[in-house]
A and B are shown apart, each in its own frame.
Chain A
Amino acid sequence: MPTSSKKEKLIEGVLPESKAHELLYKMVLTRAFEENAEEMYGLGKVHGTMHLSIGEEGVAAGAGPALRPSDYLLNTHRGHGHFLMWGGDLNRMMAEFMGKEAGYCRGRGGSMHIADVESNNLGAQGIVAGNLPISVGVGLSIQMRKTDQVVLTLFGDGAANEGAFHESLNMASIWNLPVIYLCENNQYAMSMAFERAFRVEQVSERAAAYGMKGLTVDGNDVIAVYKAVSEAAEQARKGAGPTLIEAITYRWKGHSKSDRQLYRTREEVKKWMEKDPIKRFAAKLDVDEAGLKEIEKKAKEEIRKAVEFADNSPEPDVNTILEGIYA
């Protein structure tokens, strides 16, 4: 956990107040990024698809600051928030989203594959559970290099039903690897409701099958996520092995742009919107409605500038299409 000056107030005894305000801003920024993304898609400014994490910002806000810049991140397809919380630069992120050369992946990856290898951010993932086995390798490498790094591996409830989940958690456990498995349980694997896809009540129950610690936290509570990830990181750094954390949250928007959301009711979505992680965190920090409006205004302005930056960035040169391929 970060150290703080003696004077600074700690939120719930753990998170320095200034850091907390920074996180609140980044949560608002994430939402503004995604609302803008949706708008640009509607206007035909971007193509393809995108996966919005609106309503789930609390998980990223709690997880990112619990780790150190030297740690590793394995992100998911719904990972804009985690990317920002990991210190991602908004301009380069926007440029990637818009397929521009100035983007993190030179416009080759897009929203679903955005990565920043230089900051140990090993990328978002288009294959459900595709990053889970990789986390075993990253953990093994940390162990072999004898550093005190850890790897944060993100995935959704859907990924927990891929075979790769089983192999990965088991290997990380038997070798005591410094991996934090953070499951963002947003209740739906695309259209598949959690209740239809699992016989267990909680994903975290499965930790027992691998002999590792498992816990479920409120994913819309930033501090709860922060505490859980901090504790898991501390254990991992001590050589106590991996932890499976399940953060319960909810996806307000459809799975992707093709989703008509026939599998759930508006009432259900509304019920969850009342548990807005941004409003909850703002209240915790005594930021009132007017204060939040100010923050939103600032975030929207930053988004506007990022779009301007990306708009003014060049398209990748077609003659460079084979760059990055070595075979």
Chain B
Amino acid sequence: MRELSYMEALREAMRQAMQKDDRVFLIGEDIGIYGGAFGVSAGLLDEFGPKRIIDTPISEAGIAGACIGAAVTGMRPIGEMQFSDFVVIAMEQLVMQGAKMRFMFGGKAEVPFVMRLAGGSGTGAAAQHSESLENWFVHVPGLKVVMPSSPYDAKGLLLAAIEDNNPIMFFEHKVLYKTKGPVPEEMYTIPLGQSHVVREGKDLTVVATSIMVSRALEAAEQLSKEGIELEIIDPRTLKPLDEKPIIESVIKTGKALIVHEAVKTGGFGGELTAVIMESEAFGYLDAPVKRLAGLDTPIPYNRNLEYHAVPQVENIVEEARKLVKGQY
């Protein structure tokens, strides 16, 4: 199969969705001639024109509101938060309006928009441009939260998100944009709410999200040489969460390590831990469920500090090894 970068896969998903459905349009800051801050929408202005690739002033609340208003009246917008950090300015519209509209109106309104957000650290962008805020939205009933970890998933999940009739927070990772992988040319969807067993193994269940999936895979290759086999599961959508493959895996391995970039306290790892503990997997656990996550700190500018603020391959190797060997 041909290879595309994560960024190209996202662009292709948007292009195909816009070709297929006139109601789909893209709105955000510098998405037109600039091509998006990271180049995700490069070339789309030429193909679809300024009425469907809409550059906005720097007005995040306006972008979110425009998505909601257009969605509830029959369009299918894709909004872009240039850096996911900027979503804080759009919170009211997303949390108080977009997420609640369908429920408040007795289930009669449909609000089909996708908010794409460029998240994560690793680019030296410092404290206000590097956060991982996905779990805030997991806590809001009415929003779906998607986090693709590969080019294949990026395209399939984005197309599924565009087809969905509800507001969706679609968290991309800046460092993943240039990573490559096989992506089919045709349109395809990956259902929202379907976990993916990325690697099978018998010794430890690793649940990882976004960029941590590839880091976990790298860790698994290293540990395999020591005879330790990790089973890696990528939930792909944090909400709705497909719990079954995670629970089944923990029943098989008896141990679980959760890895995400977002800070540990109040992060999605706590939710996943509770999911495991409340399930029938509880009786099969022969070690505590462990979380490996970002330190409870804003992202530092200094390159070395930034590196150490979030889990890296060597941290996953170490934590996984300790868990498997009963050293917790």
A99/B303 in contact, CB under 8 A: yes
CB B83 to nearest CB in A, in angstroms, measures 9
What are the residues of chain B within 8 A of A49 when measuring CB–CB? 123-125
From 274 to 327 in chain A, residues with beta carbon under 8 angstroms from any chain B beta carbon are 315-316, 318, 321-322, 325
Contacts of A321 in B (CB 8 A): 295, 297, 300, 305, 308-309
Contact of B59 among A162, A190, A260 (CB under 8 A): A162
Candidates B29, B38, B127; contact of A192 at CB < 8 Å: B29
* Residue from B32, B60, B62, B302 in contact with A108 in the complex, judged by beta carbons closer than 8 Å: B302
Q: Which of B37, B61, B305 has the most CB of A within 10 A?
A: B305
Q: What is the total of A-B residue contacts with beta carbons within 8 Å?
A: 125
Do B296 and A325 touch across chains, with their CB atoms under 8 A apart? Answer: yes
- Interface assignment of A154: CB less than 8 Å from any CB of chain B: no
Given the complex of chains A and B, what is the CA–CA distance between A100 and B308 in angstroms? 16
- Kindly provide the distance from the CB of A157 to the nearest chain B CB, expressed in whole angstroms: 9
Q: Tell me the residues in window 56-115 of chain A with beta carbons closer than 8 Å to chain B beta carbons.
A: 99-100, 105, 107-110, 112-113
B58 part of interface (Cβ distance < 8 Å): yes
Asked if A183 is at the interface of the complex by the 8 Å CB criterion, the answer is no
Q: Kindly state the separation between the CA atoms of A305 and B79 in the bound complex, as whole angstroms.
A: 46
Segment of A14-22, A124-132, A217-225 engaged in the interface with chain B: A124-132
- How long is the Cα–Cα vector from A315 to B300 in the complex, in angstroms? 12
Which listed residue (B55, B59, B124, B305) contacts A191, Cβ 8 A?
B55
Chain B 266-314 interface residues, beta-carbon cutoff 8 Å to A:
295-298, 300-305, 308-309
Residues of A within 8 A of B80 (CB): none
CB-CB under 8 A from A130, the residues of chain B are: 128
B70 at interface by CB-CB < 8 Å: no
The answer to the question of B227 belonging to the interface, with a C-beta cut-off of 8 Å to chain A, is no
Which residues of the other chain, B, contact A107 by a CB distance below 8 angstroms? Answer: 300-302, 305
The one of B32, B60, B301 in contact with A110, judged by C-beta atoms closer than 8 angstroms, is B301
Given A190-B29, A191-B30, check contact A197 B302 (CB 8 Å).
no
Closest Cβ of chain B to A315, distance in Å, is 6
Decide if A259 is an interface residue (CB 8 Å cutoff).
yes
Residues of B within 8 A of A (CB): 29-30, 32-35, 37-39, 55-62, 85-86, 88-89, 123-129, 295-298, 300-305, 308-309
Chain A residues with CB under 8 Å of chain B are: 46-49, 99-100, 105, 107-110, 112-113, 126-130, 158-159, 161-164, 189-192, 196-198, 258-260, 262-263, 315-316, 318, 321-322, 325
A sample of 29 inter-chain contacts (CB < 8 A) reads A49-B123, A105-B301, A108-B126, A108-B302, A110-B124, A110-B126, A110-B301, A112-B126, A112-B301, A113-B128, A126-B127, A127-B85, A127-B88, A127-B89, A129-B58, A161-B59, A162-B60, A163-B62, A190-B30, A191-B55, A192-B57, A192-B58, A197-B57, A258-B37, A260-B34, A263-B33, A315-B302, A318-B305, A321-B300
